[in-house]
Amino acid sequence: MKPTPRINRMKSKNNPLHIAQLVFVLTAAVWLGGAVFFTFVAGPMFFAPELAEALPKPRDGIVAQELIHRFTAFQLSLAAIAALALLAGWRLDGGKFPRARGLLLAVMVVLILFGLIYITPRLEWLHQMKYPDYFKIGTTPEQTAYANKSFGPLHGISQVGNLGVLFGLVAQLVLAWKAAVGMKVKSDPM
């Protein structure tokens, strides 16, 4: 894939293709860092015994829900930036669309949207049903038992999706890095 003649004439530091690639790589790195922090540091804190005294149930779940909403917004914002950088890089390069990175990005967005639209509202509903006195809702003992039984497996499905996005981000960063380094090496006149 050769750069367009207009881009070939530009100095390396002003090359818009390199800038688009840099934006994509930085976006992937920030997104991966955020996902690692959320998955392995922030998320597990809500299950730590030390937190139970400072933030008892069901308040810990309410705070976790707010964190999930903000993290989802963070992920979707970075996905939009990544998509724009990917499209800009493709248009500036003039070659074939980078299908692997585009498909990977689309799959990650679908997983995030599935969590946002389907899983998160159900987890929030089940959380309220688990603690009907706190949320001042009327439930039967059977409904509360159902919520207690159903919450864990649904949360597990959510975590599988989160890990899928995390692995996708690692792959996305590797693919983006290879594309950026490969382009720079190929365009270097040595």
Residue at 78: amino acid letter: L
Where along the chain do its domains lie?
13-187
pLDDT digits (tens, 9 = 90+) for 93-145: 988 999 999 999 999 999 999 999 999 999 999 999 999 999 999 999 999 99
Q: Mean pLDDT in the chain? A: 91
Instruction: For residue 139, give every residue at least 6 positions away whose Cβ sits within 8 Å of its Cβ, in sequence order, or none.
Output: 129, 132, 147
pLDDT digits (tens, 9 = 90+) for 147-156: 999 999 999 9
> 85, 123, 111: which is closest to 168 by C-alpha?
111
- Structure confidence at residue 189 (pLDDT): 46
The phi and psi torsions of 128 (rounded to 5 degrees) equal: -65, -40
Give me the half-sphere count of Cα atoms (radius 13 Å) on the Cβ side of residue 17. 25
Do 161 and 94 contact (CB within 8 A), yes or no?
no
Cα 145 from Cα 164, distance rounded (Å) = 30
DSSP 34-72: HHHHIIIIIHHHTT-HHHHHHS-TTHHHHHHHHHHHHHH
Cα 37 from Cα 182, distance rounded (Å) = 29
